Amino acid sequence: MDTLRNAGTALVRRPGPHLTDGIVTHIPRRPVDAGLAARQHQAYVAALRSAGWRVREVPAARDDPYPDGVFVEDAVVVCDDVAVLARSGEARRRGETAGAERAVRDLGLRIERIKAPGTLDGGDVLRAGDTVYVGRGERTNEEGVCQLARLLGGRRVVPVGTSGCLHLKSAMTALPDGTLIGVPDHVDTSALPGLRVAPEPAGAHVVVLAPDHVLLSASAPRTARRLAADGLRVTSVDISEFEAREGCVTCLSVLVPPTTP
C-alpha cells in the first residue's frame, strides 16, 4: 500500500440518480445499470484510498439534477495552489461547478474561473511535468485555452487539436515519467513529443497514483500488461457503466497532490 506515503486529496462525486440520462456524443447509447455503477464507483474510491489518497466527496444538490456530475474532473482544474473553475462548452453541465467550488475552497485553494466567451472542460487539460496540454475541440475553445494559460501564470501551455473524441484525455494521458500515451488518430500529434500508442483505446486513460503506480480501466488489459512489464504497479478497476457514458478513469476524480495547500 502507498498509504501515508501519499496523503494527497482525491475529489470524487457519487453517481447521481439520473446517470442513465447522461450526454453521449461519440458512442451508441445503451442503458446504464445504476446499482452496478454505484458499486463500481465504490471500488474506484477504494482503489484511491488503498493508494494513499484521502477521499473528499464533492457535494451535490438534492436529487442531483446533473447526470454527468460524477465526471467531476470536468468541473475544475487544479494546478499547485490554484483551482480554475471550468465553463463547459456543453451548457447543460455548467451547474456542476458549484459543488466543485465548495470542495476546493474547503481545501484552501485560490479560486479562479473561466469566463464567457471562453469554454473549457477539465477533461481537456493534461499536466505532464511542467507542461500543460489543453485540447481544443467540442467542449474547450481557443478563448478558454488562452484564459487558462493566463490563470496558470508561467506554465508552458500547449494547445492540442482533437477530433472524434469528447476530450483530450479521452485520447491521451501521461505516465509517471511524463511520457504521453494515447490514440494518435484523435489528436494533432504535431504538438506532441513522441506519443506512445496505447494497445487499446481505454489504455489511453491513465491515472498516476504514485511515481510507480497507475490506475487503469479493466477494459485495457493489454496496456496493463505492457505497463507492468515496464516496471509500473498497475491497479485495474471495472468502470463499464461510466464508459457507457463516455467516461474513463481520469474523469471520476480530481487529484490534489500533497504539496498543494
Question: What are the residue ranges spanned by the domains of the chain?
Answer: 73-251
Query: Cα-atom radius of gyration of the chain, to the nearest Å?
Result: 17
Instruction: Name the architecture of domain 73-251.
Output: 5-stranded Propeller (3.75)
C-alpha–C-alpha distance, residues 218 and 224, integer Å: 8
Residue ranges in the chain modelled with pLDDT below 50 = 1-4, 260-261
**Displacement of CA 8 from its chain's centroid (Å):** 16
pLDDT computed for residue 6 by the predictor: 57
Peptide bond into 117 cis (omega under 30): yes
pTM of the model: 0.95
- In sequence order, the 6+-apart residues with CB closer than 8 A to the CB of 195 are 172, 180, 181, 182, 184, 187, 189
The 8-class DSSP code of residue 155 comes to S
User: For the chain, first and last CA: distance in Å?
Assistant: 24
pLDDT computed for residue 222 by the predictor: 98
Name the residues annotated as catalytic: 167, 251
C-alpha–C-alpha distance, residues 174 and 176, integer Å: 7
pLDDT in tens, 150-161: 999 888 999 999
> In DSSP terms, which residues pair with 173 in a beta bridge?
181
Tell me how far CA of residue 169 lies from CA of 68, 108, 135, 172, 231, in angstroms.
16, 27, 8, 5, 23
pLDDT computed for residue 259 by the predictor: 58
Residue 120 has a CB neighbour count (10 Å cut-off) of 28
pLDDT computed for residue 31 by the predictor: 93
Tell me how far CA of residue 10 lies from CA of 16, 70, 229, in angstroms.
18, 13, 27
Q: Does residue 106 contact residue 153 with C-beta atoms inside 8 Å?
A: no
pLDDT in tens, 48-76: 999 999 999 999 877 789 999 999 999 99
